[in-house]
Amino acid sequence: MEILVTYDVSTADSAGRRRLRRVAKVCEGYGQRVQQSVFECVVNPGEYELLKHRLEQEIDPAQDSLRFYRLQAPRERYLLTMGQEPEFDIREPLVL
């Protein structure tokens, strides 16, 4: 399944800045950053549950916010992108 993960982490103090870095690091393990606090991820149901759990452990629910959107297939029908494109398509094999 394809999901969009968005987050808003309070960076008013050093603890918030650390949380922000940790949240981004978790998301990087599951998908591709498409905007500052937005990641597109391709996950199976088990990975989705693990991703939600790992992110929930990183945030302070009194100050931070997470949102998960399931992208509807076919993606091309429901997604319009303007401007800079992501570096690679997360659905395609990555050859290094």
Domain range enclosing 9: 2-73
The CATH number covering residue 55 comes to: 3.30.70.240
Domain membership flag for residue 43: yes
**Which residues, at least 6 apart from 90, have a Cβ–Cβ distance to it below 8 Å?**
31, 32, 40, 41, 42
Residue 80 within any structural domain of the chain: no
Considering the domain boundaries, does residue 95 fall inside one? Answer: no
Asked whether residue 92 is domain-assigned, the answer is: no
39 occurs within a structural domain:
yes
pTM over 0.75: yes
Structural domain contains residue 88: no
Which regions of the chain are under pLDDT 50? none
The number of distinct structural domains making up the chain is 1
Residue 90, in any domain of the structure: no
How many percent of the chain have pLDDT more than 70? 85
Rounded CA-CA distance 61/7 in Å is: 11
